A and B are shown apart, each in its own frame.
Chain A
Amino acid sequence: MNNFVLELWDDEGAKCTFYTVQWDEAEQNETDKFFDKYDSIAETKQPVQELLSFVLDSIGEDHGAIDALFNRFENEVVGLPNKGKVTVGEIVFLYPHFPLRLYGLRINNRNDWVVLFNGGKKSAQTNQLSRDLNIKWTEACQFAKRIEEAIRNNEIIIDSKSRKILSVDGDNEILL
């Protein structure tokens, strides 16, 4: 797996801080790519606005990443070089037939820290059959697996008070 940077995406909410990931040498982080892409498509512009409000207002400001708002799956990762279990979640605005899915990892099972990845449009009956989503799901599992590993190996430090994730050197930019 290529290197990526774990970086802050939003820390303005009262209840939850969001991180994101950016491939080394990529111009944009994965979560911005997702929102930018679907914001530029007419049919998903409003769902993007709803999903962003759901993330920043409802999760970030009002409730945190509680179970009712953050679907968690513990999945056997198939198709990755190293198989294993990861706990990637899906952020779904609970509205009928909502077309977009955004993947994330709740750190240490807490409600106040989420790493957001990329996502996609649900184009088929199931996520697995939605081609674009399936690719992003697999990628999210890869990111999550590496982040969970970094937490276990104490490569990154989680500062509960400031809701910040730091490298062992106390650096804000974390290369994994």
Chain B
Amino acid sequence: MRSKVAKRIQDETPEEVRIFVRHYTDIVVRINDIMKSKGYTQKYLAERMKKRPSEINKWLKGNHNLTLKTLAKLEAELGEPIILTQGG
């Protein structure tokens, strides 16, 4: 069962919007998971990356558009792949 309003809006939603939201959310969840498994806090990550904690907070709390460059920096620091591509 799905709300009729939700169903209607979902049917009108362009596929690319849904793909974007799912990918973006997967990335945010993946970063959070890696940080948790390594026991990293935002403050610790900020120190290691020589950034202000507020900047790291922006990256992880959705106040900053996660560009590929930002993701590469994070991936280098976290030491784990954030985005896996097929055949990569």
Interface of A toward B, CB cutoff 8 Å: 8-12, 20, 28-29, 31-32, 35-36, 39, 46, 48-50, 52-54, 56-58, 62-63, 66, 68-69, 92-98
Contact = CB atoms under 8 A, between A and B. Distances in A.
Interface string B17-33: 11011101110110010
A68 B28 contact: yes
B9 A49 contact: yes
Given A62-B26, A92-B62, A10 B32 contact: no
A27 B61 CA distance: 36
Contacts of A93: 21, 25, 62
Contact of B64 (A11, A48, A63, A96): A96
A28 B29 CA distance: 33
Contacts of A36: 5
B63 interface: yes
Interface residues on B, range: 20 to 34
Interface in B1-51: 1-6, 9-10, 12-14, 17-18, 20-22, 24-26, 28-29, 32
B86 interface: no
Interface of B: 1-6, 9-10, 12-14, 17-18, 20-22, 24-26, 28-29, 32, 61-65
A94 B28 contact: yes
A97 B2 CA distance: 29
Contact of B10 (A9, A11, A53): A53
A95 B1 CA distance: 29
Contact of A10 (B1, B20, B61): B1
A9 B7 CA distance: 11
